[in-house]
Amino acid sequence: MYTNKIYVSSTIDADIERVWQIIRDFNGMPLWHPLIQDSRIENDYPSDKIGCVRNFRTQGGDRIREQLLAQSDYDFSFTYGILESGMEVTDYIASVRLLPITDGNRCFLEWTAEFACAPDKKQELCQFIAQNVFQAGINALKKKLQP
């Protein structure tokens, strides 16, 4: 087991405040991410309470539990960790951050993750997370934000 890093970024043709309004809701992924079927926050906590746990199901029926570790409306960012999933990862911590682009009404989104896994699973997991989770989510977000 060792640490793997994933970094995916993109420019979004929408104002940073508008994008943040959508992704800020830790329970709102089913509204914009094609992989997520449904989600609920455990113990009726607010979806922006540090420590809250989202319990969601993917379109394939897998159950995943993630905990909100940090969130900043000032920095337009949040960090979360996986508590339980069918993926063979441990110590999974991911962050999403928006940065304003001053040339036009756009923003820059970066989605990063670090996690440990068995060496023989590294390529498969890195590719799946980068493409099917991060990039697929970014692409769907862009589509949702189109005028």
Kindly report, residue by residue over 79-119, the tens digit of the pLDDT: 999 999 999 999 999 999 999 999 988 999 999 999 999 99
Average of per-residue pLDDT across 9-33: 96
The model carries a pTM of 0.94
Please say if the pLDDT value at position 126 is more than 60: yes
Question: What's CA 76's distance to the chain center, in Å?
Answer: 13
pLDDT of 24 reads 97
pLDDT of 147 reads 74
Confidence of residue 1 (pLDDT cuts 50, 70, 90): low
CA 105, 138, 53, 26: dihedral to nearest 10 degrees? 20
Confidence of residue 32 (pLDDT cuts 50, 70, 90): very high
Average of per-residue pLDDT across 125-136: 97
Confidence of residue 50 (pLDDT cuts 50, 70, 90): very high
| Cβ atoms of residues 5 and 134 within 8 Å | no
Q: How large a percentage of the chain has pLDDT more than 70? A: 99
- Determine the CATH number of domain 2-144: 3.30.530.20
pLDDT of 146 reads 87
Least confident of 39-43, 46-50, 96-100, 102-106: 102-106
Q: Nearest to residue 24, comparing CAs of 48, 51, 50?
A: 48
Please say if the pLDDT value at position 3 is more than 90: no
